[in-house]
């Protein structure tokens, strides 16, 4: 059959019946077994049983046998030619069908590889977009993390100011060492800053963890993307192969499925799950960035509001201190003036008592001298009664003056004590004003602005 397909010219030639048996090619005729024919005995009218033909009968065939053999050979030759022609037609048809089938299979395979390239390109593009989005999101989250760190550092100054204010106000004296509105606001400010620091630390830890998770999912997507790139290059190379390619060869062992090979569904699901998880973490990162924005905004506003409340309390308390100090100074002036008057009064009382000594001496001298009147002239006359009355009046006056002197001196001592207390209280108020105004409020001018508390610098 192959010989017939290989020589088309033989199909065009007419069938030729062979009349002579071809000579053997390799096997000698003597080596072939001789065919034995069973010949019927001639018993008819044409039979010869004479001795003259006895030696030639065995090697001869009958005409009918000769014609029959010839017909069989011709028939076999005709059948062989017909079978060969039909075989050549079938071989040609089979070759054409096989060529068409091979071409269709190759076209289908090329189309399938092309479709696969489109699928790989789609997932590769999706993975690349997700990698870029995750990378950009991680950079944005890193910027928010930097803001958190700056904001946390910025809270150290307000906390130091609040604690320093509380320590400075511990040096107030006497009754000014009171738990007033300023101290309550300062304690509230210190507690607020501590709670804000704890919140910022927790949020900072959350941001670090989210950045780590973002990088892990980005790495997973990058590995998947790298596999897709390598696979795309391999399939693109496979799609460019043709029958005329010079680098193709037989690989019989490649016609098998790997046990670890994935299905198309699991392959697509793998990339889909990677992108889904990365997208989920990206959304979580965006939410965390929004949360950080809100936290930094709220904490900075809360700290500035509390700072304003403390400053207002300081201003109000300083105003009260100034008012108290002014009133104390006013009373001190009155006390000092009254002390002067009282000292003059005491001096006048002492002078008045001293002034009564001479009249007392005169009266008592008169009474003493009149006690020497003789006999009946030692009389209780009107002059005697008046002198005694005068002495008694002078004694009562001196007693009253001395009592008033004692009262005045006691009043003067009270005034001096009041003066001393007022001066001490004025000194206390001056010290409190110095602490609140010069130390605390001056220190609070270093309080960071909202822009810095929000972590922008």
Sequence spans of domains, the chain: 320-454
Please check whether residue 221 is in contact with residue 127, taking contact to mean a CB–CB distance below 8 angstroms.
yes
- pLDDT for the residue numbered 21: 46
- pLDDT for the residue numbered 222: 94
CB neighbours of residue 294 within 10 Å = 10
Would you place residue 141 in the very low, low, confident or very high pLDDT band (cuts 50, 70, 90)? very high
Asked if pLDDT for residue 119 goes beyond 70, the answer is: yes
- Output 20 or 427, whichever has higher pLDDT: 427
Asked if pLDDT for residue 54 goes beyond 60, the answer is: no
Asked if pLDDT for residue 91 goes beyond 60, the answer is: yes
CA distances from 217 to 82, 212, 213, 269, 284 (A): 73, 9, 6, 16, 13
Asked if pLDDT for residue 12 goes beyond 80, the answer is: no
Q: What is the pLDDT averaged over residues 109-126?
A: 92
Q: What is the pLDDT averaged over residues 113-133?
A: 93
* Digit-coded pLDDT (tens) for 265-284: 999 999 999 999 999 999 99
Q: What is the pLDDT averaged over residues 88-116?
A: 91
- pLDDT for the residue numbered 25: 43
- pLDDT for the residue numbered 52: 52
Indicate the average pLDDT of the chain.
84
- pLDDT for the residue numbered 55: 52
- pLDDT for the residue numbered 2: 38
Would you place residue 59 in the very low, low, confident or very high pLDDT band (cuts 50, 70, 90)? low
- pLDDT for the residue numbered 61: 78
Would you place residue 453 in the very low, low, confident or very high pLDDT band (cuts 50, 70, 90)? confident
Q: What is the pLDDT averaged over residues 28-43?
A: 47
Query: How is residue 256 written in tokens?
Result: 């098998």
Please check whether residue 307 is in contact with residue 161, taking contact to mean a CB–CB distance below 8 angstroms.
no
- pTM, entire model: 0.67
CB neighbours of residue 132 within 10 Å = 12
C-alpha 277/C-alpha 65 separation (Å) is 94
- pLDDT for the residue numbered 202: 95
- pLDDT for the residue numbered 346: 92
Q: What is the pLDDT averaged over residues 393-412?
A: 92
Asked if pLDDT for residue 407 goes beyond 70, the answer is: yes
Please check whether residue 293 is in contact with residue 455, taking contact to mean a CB–CB distance below 8 angstroms.
no
Kindly state the percentage of the chain with pLDDT values over 90: 54
* Digit-coded pLDDT (tens) for 280-339: 999 999 999 999 999 999 999 999 999 999 999 989 989 988 998 899 999 999 999 999
- According to DSSP, residue 172 is labeled -
Asked if pLDDT for residue 18 goes beyond 90, the answer is: no
Q: What is the pLDDT averaged over residues 167-177?
A: 85
Asked if pLDDT for residue 76 goes beyond 80, the answer is: yes
- pLDDT for the residue numbered 27: 42
Q: How many CA atoms lie within 13 A of 121 on its CB side?
A: 9
For tokens 């010989």, name the residue: 3
* Digit-coded pLDDT (tens) for 239-262: 888 888 888 888 887 777 777 788
- pLDDT for the residue numbered 97: 92
Asked if pLDDT for residue 36 goes beyond 80, the answer is: no
Task: Tell me the angle at which helices 63-154 and 264-355 cross, rounded to the nearest 10 degrees.
Answer: 0
> Lowest mean pLDDT: which of 13-17, 127-131, 354-358?
13-17
- pLDDT for the residue numbered 120: 92
Would you place residue 225 in the very low, low, confident or very high pLDDT band (cuts 50, 70, 90)? very high
Asked if pLDDT for residue 22 goes beyond 50, the answer is: no
Q: How many CA atoms lie within 13 A of 417 on its CB side?
A: 6
Would you place residue 58 in the very low, low, confident or very high pLDDT band (cuts 50, 70, 90)? low
Asked if pLDDT for residue 171 goes beyond 80, the answer is: yes
Asked if pLDDT for residue 406 goes beyond 90, the answer is: yes
> Lowest mean pLDDT: which of 51-65, 153-167, 181-195?
51-65
């Amino acid at each position: 059959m192959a010989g017939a397909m290989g020589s088309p010219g033989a199909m065009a030639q007419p069938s030729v019946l062979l009349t002579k048996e071809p000579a053997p090619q390799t096997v000698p005729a003597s080596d072939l077994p001789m065919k034995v024919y069973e010949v019927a005995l001639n018993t008819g009218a044409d039979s010869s049983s004479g001795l003259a033909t006895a030696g030639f009968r065995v090697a001869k065939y009958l005409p009918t046998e000769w014609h029959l053999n010839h017909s069989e050979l011709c028939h076999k030759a005709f059948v062989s030619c017909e079978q060969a022609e039909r075989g050549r037609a079938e071989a040609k048809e089979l070759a054409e069908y096989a060529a068409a089938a091979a071409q269709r299979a190759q076209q289908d395979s090329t189309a399938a590889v092309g479709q696969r390239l489109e699928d790989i390109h789609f997932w590769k593009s999706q993975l690349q977009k997700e990698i870029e989005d995750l990378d950009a999101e991680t950079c944005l989250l890193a910027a928010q993390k930097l803001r958190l760190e700056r904001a946390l550092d910025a809270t150290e100054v307000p906390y130091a100011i609040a604690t320093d204010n509380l320590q400075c106000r511990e040096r107030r004296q006497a009754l000014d060492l009171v738990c007033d509105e300023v101290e309550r606001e300062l304690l509230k400010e210190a507690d607020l800053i501590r709670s804000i620091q704890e919140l910022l630390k927790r949020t900072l830890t959350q941001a670090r963890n989210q950045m780590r998770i973002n990088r892990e999912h980005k790495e997973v997507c990058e590995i998947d993307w790298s596999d897709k790139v390598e696979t795309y290059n391999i399939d693109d190379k496979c799609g460019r192969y043709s029958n005329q390619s010079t680098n193709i060869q037989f690989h019989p062992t490649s016609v098998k499925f790997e046990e670890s090979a994935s299905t198309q569904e699991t392959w697509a699901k793998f990339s889909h799950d990677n992108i889904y998880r990365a997208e989920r973490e990206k959304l979580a990162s965006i939410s965390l960035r929004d949360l950080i924005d809100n936290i930094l905004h709220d904490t900075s506003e809360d700290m500035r509001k509390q700072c304003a409340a403390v400053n207002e309390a300081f201003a109000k308390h300083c105003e009260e201190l100034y008012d108290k100090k002014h009133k104390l100074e006013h009373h001190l002036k009155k006390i000092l003036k009254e002390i002067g008057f009282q000292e003059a009064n005491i001096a006048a009382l002492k002078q008045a008592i001293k002034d009564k000594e001479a009249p007392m001496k005169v009266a008592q001298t008169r009474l003493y001298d009149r006690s020497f009147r003789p006999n009946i002239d030692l009389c209780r006359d009107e002059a005697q009664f008046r002198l005694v009355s005068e002495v008694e009046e002078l004694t009562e006056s001196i007693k009253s003056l001395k009592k008033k002197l004692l009262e005045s001196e006691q009043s003067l001592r009270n005034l001096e004590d009041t003066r001393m207390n007022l001066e001490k209280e004025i000194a206390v108020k001056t010290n409190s004003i110095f602490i609140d105004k010069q130390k605390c409020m001056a220190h609070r001018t270093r309080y960071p602005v909202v822009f810095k508390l929000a972590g922008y610098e």
